[in-house]
Amino acid sequence: MARIHLNTSHLYPELDIPDDEDAREQLSLRISRYPAKTLWMLIAIGVASLALDLFMDLLESTGHVVPGYWWRQVILLFIMLMAVYFTLLWTRNAVRRQLRRDLRDLGYPVCLNCGYDMRSLPEDRCPECGMVAEPLDADQSVNDNS
C-alpha cells in the first residue's frame, strides 16, 4: 500500500528543523496520535450541542420563554462552530508544544516557548521571545552542519 505523505510544515514549522529525513519521519509519526484526541473532543462537542437543544426543548415544553426555532438553531450553530474552532486551535498548539519537546529530546536546541531554532546562537537565550533555554547535554546535542 502506498504511503501518502502530507506536507504539514506550514501548520507545524517545527518539522523543518531536523536535517535528516528519519527525524522528520519520527516527528510526523508522533503527530499522527493527536487526530484521535481531536476526534473525541469534536464528538463531545456534538453530544453537548444535542444536549443543549434537548434542554431548550424541555424548557419550552414547561412554559419557559426560549428563542424561536430558527434563532435557537443559529445560536447552536454558532456555539458549535466556536467550540470546533477552539478545539482545533488547542490541538494545533498542543501538537506544536509536544513537537518542541520532542525536538529537544532528539537533541535539537529549540526554544520551548516559541519554537525558534537555537542551533547557531552563542547563548541560551531566545532572541525571539527572551526565554532562557536549558542547555542540552553534550551527548544529546546534534552537530550543527552550518
Q: Where are the domains of the chain?
A: 20-105, 109-146
pLDDT in tens, 73-86: 788 888 888 888 88
Higher-confidence residue of 60 and 140: namely 60
**Least confident window among 42-46, 64-68, 85-89, 115-119:** 64-68
Cell numbers linked to 74:
443559529
Residues in CB range of 118: below 8 A, 6 or more apart: 109, 110, 111, 124, 126, 133
Give pTM, 2 decimals: 0.65
Dump pLDDT digits (tens) for 98-107.
888 888 888 8
Comparing 68 with 145, the larger pLDDT belongs to 68
pLDDT band with cut points at 50, 70 and 90 for residue 5? very low
**Choice between 70 and 95, residue whose per-residue pLDDT is larger:** 95
pLDDT classification of 142: cutoffs 50, 70, 90: low
Strand positions, DSSP E, the chain: none
pLDDT recorded at residue 1 = 45
Contacts of 27 (CB under 8 A, 6+ apart): 14, 15, 18, 99, 102, 103, 106
23-63 pLDDT, tens per residue? 878 787 777 766 667 777 778 888 888 888 888 788 778 87
Evaluate if residue 130 carries a pLDDT over 60.
Answer: yes
